[in-house]
């Protein structure tokens, strides 16, 4: 008996060591109200139905599923009962959109649409598998399928033919081919025949995604440990895939409006006089700026939550004074807590007392060396640590600090090898570094976010993070880490931000101008132009490089930078509205062309990845070659107007446009409505009295504009306003109907300006307001008047503010 057992153990040990085990045959099935469970000859498999387009698959080699809660899927999810049917070969069930077939022997998943077209299927011989603790899923590779997503990855926007690793890594001066980088977003999108699905692998261990690298048979994803726990999301719209993915992992909360302004950083601005001078420079040059960052030198010996008292003798006063000029101060906060228990520094002692730091298996505290020298690392997977850290951050903000910048949170450490034996709480379930590494930053950002929400309930948290995992979008904006001031990185900034955007992260940006090295004048000019039309807009550079503020490159470049930043500020009503939409739908602000024009094959071409939609209506075509004075860009079908000339262009083709150094090509889509205001030196400097709209009328178009106080949480109590603009062009006349339906937030305007393009043969304009019909006069200066340029076909109408009005533009009948 004993002998047999020994042989059995030996065989199974040999098996698991030597080769992959594939799922095998389905030997049994159980139907529960929340899932179906299939016992396999090799492993255990569960299928959950969440929605008509959303299914969760969970496969393990053993026989017990993990009880620990997910770090990424935090939204409330309820499962629907699956009505399982079977025939000789398959178990199957359907939703209103999908047909899910699970072959019995061997167990293989096939997903079809309602017409029986295969959307996605397990590789015929491999499917789900494991080798020891390594777990993975092999999917059939279709030759005409394109892959996107996986978050912050360099290289092409399309992920085909490469393998990617998810392991948060501090990778300064990365290149196009380096991987992994700072963030891990194990979610990708597959597009075939213009139809899209997504797969999200909810596994925090080191994972890999091989999108057909080195073979033409399959793509695969898997992790070195844990469960093969993945969600299949059907579109077929890419937008819907992203919406469903963010319904699982969460969406951005509406940031304060100032966080959409320009932000200035450097490693580091100190002492206090330098910070004050910097602020004064911005104001005296009238270059808008909302935020100044303090990098690691503000601290006392890099001790987190401390000040260097020589460099910053009275931080509260400094912050208060700068606040009066409209500046917000954000300080860097790294996770490492200096292991200083001998001086007045209380944080380490307090942390030890509250048992918040990560430990070795023998109970000794882990010490790692990083900026503060030997340090303890808070265990953010523990609820008491999260509360402790949240309170510390909230306390830190009471000095007037506006937001928190989390760096080195991969976690990064000198030597780059955090010992994997270090133990973490894992919400009471216990785990080592292998499981916690990738969610360290996510849990850290969550602590900070929750702390701010708890202790400053009327404040909108603003957190900037370098590392993250799926779900980080709920808590933080993300920047792409330590890039280089060269052309390749300007291009990477364009594509990486689009990739992150597709991966559920709307609030993304790059170090404008480049972190390492020094940009040429042209490179800086091109970068700040593009940066002004990316979601997170911050200039930053490393210690000991040439200055990189907007005026650091001479007068001409300063004027370019200034107008780029001012353009950003005038577009804030539009940009803020796009952020609000994103917080509701999960869709990104910065959009690859194919996200808006999914059925247009041109939009998938590599060249089309160097232009993008900023919000739903604005096409931005950055010049990404330092010396180029023109740009080749693609305008999808329909009419567009050139932002700078007002000229209306028929789309449907590639065009080459002049792009002298001062000009970033921008086009507005037919039916697009772009609200804008006069640029100010900072958000909220003056009440906005006049709101303008640039409009390219379409046969029919609707635009909805959200507005609120921009800074408090009062919008959650309905304190906001929603204005709907409806456009209609019946050939004879263009009518524009504006109606503010929700008005708990009082709009500050006294007048509106409507700037309409492509308006030929205008005869007269009338307006209906407060039951009155007013014929507008052709006099640009008065209100309730208009000015018409019959050469450019532009009409500019100025009206009194009203929450309900209709404008009718009559054309000459010809």
At residue 47, φ and ψ (nearest 5 deg) are -125, 130
Which is nearer to ligand MIG, 175 or 645 (by Cβ)? 175
CB atoms within 10 A of CB 510: 26
> Annotated catalytic, 308?
no
CA 672 to chain centre: 23
> Annotated catalytic, 602?
no
DSSP category for residue 268? T
Contact 267, 542 (CB under 8 A): yes
Residue 735 CB, nearest approach to ligand MIG (Å): 51
Which is nearer to ligand MIG, 408 or 633 (by Cβ)? 408
Which is nearer to ligand MIG, 175 or 193 (by Cβ)? 175
At residue 330, φ and ψ (nearest 5 deg) are -120, 130
Rounded Cα gap, residues 509 and 478, in angstroms: 7
CB within 8 Å of 495: residues ≥ 6 apart? 155, 156, 157, 609, 610
- Give the active site residue among 123, 425, 450, 482: 482
Q: Tell me the two tokens of residue 607.
A: 């060249």
- Give the active site residue among 134, 202, 410, 626: 410
Which is nearer to ligand MIG, 438 or 617 (by Cβ)? 438
Measure the CA angle with vertex 251, ends 247 and 254; round to 5°. Answer: 145
Which residues are at the interface with ligand MIG (CB under 6 A)? Answer: 267, 295-296, 332, 407-408, 466, 481-482, 540
Which is nearer to ligand MIG, 203 or 409 (by Cβ)? 409
Residue 497 CB, nearest approach to ligand MIG (Å): 16
Rounded Cα gap, residues 182 and 531, in angstroms: 20
Contact 147, 159 (CB under 8 A): yes
User: Which segments within 20-172 are labelled E, that is strand?
Assistant: 21-22, 26-31, 36-40, 43-51, 54-60, 85-86, 90-94, 98-103, 108-113, 118-121, 128-131, 134-140, 146-149, 163-166
> Annotated catalytic, 600?
no
3-state helix/strand/coil string of 78-107: CCECCCCEECCCEEEEECCCEEEEEECCCC
Phi-psi region of 25 (alpha: psi -120 to 50; beta: other; left: phi over 0): beta
Rounded Cα gap, residues 23 and 27, in angstroms: 11
Residue located via tokens 């990083």: 370
Residue 590 CB, nearest approach to ligand MIG (Å): 21
Exposure of 747 by Cβ count < 10 A (0-12 exposed, 13-18 middle, 19+ buried)? Answer: middle
Q: What ranges in 325-382 are assigned the alpha helix state H?
A: 347-353
Rounded Cα gap, residues 504 and 508, in angstroms: 10
Residue 151 CB, nearest approach to ligand MIG (Å): 17
Residue 479 CB, nearest approach to ligand MIG (Å): 8
- The residue of the chain with the least Cβ separation from ligand MIG equals 267
DSSP helix/strand/coil, 696: coil
Phi-psi region of 192 (alpha: psi -120 to 50; beta: other; left: phi over 0): beta
Which is nearer to ligand MIG, 332 or 347 (by Cβ)? 332
Q: Nearest Cα to 395, choosing from 342, 339, 336, 331?
A: 331
Residue 266 CB, nearest approach to ligand MIG (Å): 8
Which is nearer to ligand MIG, 541 or 563 (by Cβ)? 541
Cis peptide before 767 (omega within 30 of 0): no
Which is nearer to ligand MIG, 408 or 657 (by Cβ)? 408
Q: What ranges in 325-459 are assigned the alpha helix state H?
A: 347-353, 383-397, 433-436, 440-455
Exposure of 286 by Cβ count < 10 A (0-12 exposed, 13-18 middle, 19+ buried)? Answer: exposed
Which is nearer to ligand MIG, 408 or 575 (by Cβ)? 408
Which is nearer to ligand MIG, 200 or 405 (by Cβ)? 405
Phi-psi region of 214 (alpha: psi -120 to 50; beta: other; left: phi over 0): left
CB atoms within 10 A of CB 712: 15
Residue 264 CB, nearest approach to ligand MIG (Å): 13
Residue 518 CB, nearest approach to ligand MIG (Å): 15
Bridge partners of residue 754, in order along the sequence: 693, 797
Residue 445 CB, nearest approach to ligand MIG (Å): 15
Which is nearer to ligand MIG, 435 or 540 (by Cβ)? 540
3-state helix/strand/coil string of 615-671: CCCEEECCCCCCCCCEEEEEECCCEEEECCCCCEEECCEEEEEECCCCCCCEEEECC
3-state helix/strand/coil string of 459-526: ECCCEEECCEECCHHHCCEEECCCCECCHHHHHHHHHHHHHHHHCCCCCEECEECCCECCCCHHHHHH
Which is nearer to ligand MIG, 244 or 510 (by Cβ)? 510
Residue 267 CB, nearest approach to ligand MIG (Å): 4
Residue 161 CB, nearest approach to ligand MIG (Å): 29
Residue 414 CB, nearest approach to ligand MIG (Å): 9
Which is nearer to ligand MIG, 155 or 481 (by Cβ)? 481
Exposure of 417 by Cβ count < 10 A (0-12 exposed, 13-18 middle, 19+ buried)? Answer: exposed
CB within 8 Å of 177: residues ≥ 6 apart? 154, 155
Rounded Cα gap, residues 630 and 623, in angstroms: 7
- Give the active site residue among 407, 423, 511, 670: 407
Residue 527 CB, nearest approach to ligand MIG (Å): 16
Rounded Cα gap, residues 429 and 19, in angstroms: 30
Active site residues: 407, 410, 482
């Amino acid at each position: 008996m004993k002998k047999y057992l020994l042989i059995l153990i030996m065989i199974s040990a040999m098996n698991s060591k030597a080769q992959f085990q594939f799922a095998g045959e389905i030997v049994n099935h159980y139907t529960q109200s929340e899932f179906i469970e299939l016992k396999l000859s090799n492993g255990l498999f569960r299928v959950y139905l969440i929605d008509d387009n959303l299914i969760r698959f969970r496969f393990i080699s053993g026989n017990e599923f993990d009880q620990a809660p997910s770090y990424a899927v935090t939204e409330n999810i309820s499962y629907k009962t699956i009505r399982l049917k079977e025939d000789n070969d398959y178990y199957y069930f359907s939703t209103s959109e999908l047909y899910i077939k699970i072959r019995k022997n061997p167990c293989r998943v096939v997903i079809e649409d309602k017409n029986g077209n295969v959307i996605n299927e397990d590789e015929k011989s491999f499917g789900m598998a494991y080798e020891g603790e390594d777990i993975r899923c092999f999917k059939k590779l279709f030759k005409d399928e394109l892959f996107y997503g996986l978050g912050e990855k360099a290289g092409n926007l399309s992920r085909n033919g490469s393998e990617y690793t998810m392991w948060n890594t501090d990778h300064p001066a990365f290149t196009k081919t380096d991987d992994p980088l700072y963030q891990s977003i194990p979610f990708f999108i597959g597009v075939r025949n213009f139809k899209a699905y997504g797969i999200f692998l909810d596994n925090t261990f080191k994972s890999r995604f091989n999108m057909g690298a080195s073979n033409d048979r399959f793509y695969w994803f898997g992790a070195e440990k844990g469960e093969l726990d993945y969600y299949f999301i059907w579109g077929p719209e890419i937008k819907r895939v992203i919406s469903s993915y963010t319904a699982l992992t969460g969406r951005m909360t509406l940031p304060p409006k100032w966080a959409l302004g320009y932000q200035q950083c450097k490693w580091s601005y100190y002492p206090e006089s330098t910070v004050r001078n910097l602020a004064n420079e911005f104001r005296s040059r009238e270059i808008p700026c909302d935020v100044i960052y303090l990098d690691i030198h503000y601290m006392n010996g890099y001790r987190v939550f401390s000040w260097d008292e020589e460099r910053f003798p009275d931080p509260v006063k400094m912050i208060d004074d700068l606040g009066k000029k409209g500046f917000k101060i954000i300080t860097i906060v790294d996770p490492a807590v200096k292991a200083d228990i001998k001086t007045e520094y209380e944080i380490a002692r307090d942390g030890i007392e509250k048992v918040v730091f990560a430990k070795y298996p023998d109970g000794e505290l882990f010490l790692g060396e990083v900026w503060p020298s030997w340090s303890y690392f808070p265990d953010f997977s523990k609820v008491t640590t999260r509360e402790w850290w949240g309170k510390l951050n909230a306390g830190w903000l009471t000095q007037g600090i506006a937001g928190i910048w989390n760096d080195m949170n991969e976690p990064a450490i000198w030597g780059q090898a955090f010992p994997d034996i270090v133990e973490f709480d894992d919400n009471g379930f216990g785990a080592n570094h292998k499981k916690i590494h990738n969610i360290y930053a996510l849990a850290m950002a969550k602590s900070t976010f929750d702390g701010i929400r708890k202790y400053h309930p009327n404040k909108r948290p603003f957190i900037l993070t370098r590392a993250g995992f799926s779900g980080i979008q709920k808590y933080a904006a993300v920047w792409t880490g330590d890039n280089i001031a060269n052309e390749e990185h300007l291009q990477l900034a364009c594509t990486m931000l689009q990739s992150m955007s597709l991966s559920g992260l709307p609030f993304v940006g790059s170090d404008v101008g480049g972190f390492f090295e020094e940009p040429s004048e042209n490179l800086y000019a091109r970068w700040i132009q593009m940066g002004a039309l990316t979601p997170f807009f911050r200039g930053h550079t490393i210690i000991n490089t040439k200055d990189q503020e907007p005026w650091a490159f001479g007068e001409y470049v300063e004027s370019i930078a200034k107008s780029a930043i001012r353009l950003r500020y005038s577009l804030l009503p539009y940009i803020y509205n796009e952020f609000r939409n994103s917080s509701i739908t999960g869709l990104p602000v910065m959009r690859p062309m194919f996200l808006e024009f999914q059925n247009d094959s041109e939009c998938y071409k590599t060249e089309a990845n160097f232009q993008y939609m900023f919000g739903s209506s604005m096409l931005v075509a950055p010049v990404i070659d330092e010396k180029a004075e023109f740009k080749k860009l693609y305008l999808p079908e329909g009419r567009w107007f050139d932002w700078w000339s007002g000229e209306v262009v028929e789309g449907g083709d590639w065009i080459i446009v002049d792009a002298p150094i001062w000009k970033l090509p921008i086009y507005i889509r037919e039916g697009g409505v772009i609200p804008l205001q006069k640029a100010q030196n900072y958000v909220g400097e003056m009440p906005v009295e006049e709101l303008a709209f640039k409009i390219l009328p379409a046969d029919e178009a609707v635009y909805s504009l959200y507005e609120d106080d921009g800074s408090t949480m009062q919008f959650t109590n309905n304190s906001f306003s929603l204005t709907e603009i409806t456009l209609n062009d019946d050939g004879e006349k263009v009518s524009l109907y504006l109606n503010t339906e929700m008005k708990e937030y009082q709009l500050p305007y006294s007048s509106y300006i409507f700037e309409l393009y492509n308006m030929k043969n205008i005869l007269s304009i009338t307006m209906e307001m407060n039951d009155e019909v007013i014929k507008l006069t052709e006099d640009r200066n008065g209100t309730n008047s208009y000015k018409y340029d019959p050469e450019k076909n532009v009409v500019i109408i100025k009206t009194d503010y009203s929450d309900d009005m209709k404008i009718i533009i009559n054309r000459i009948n010809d």
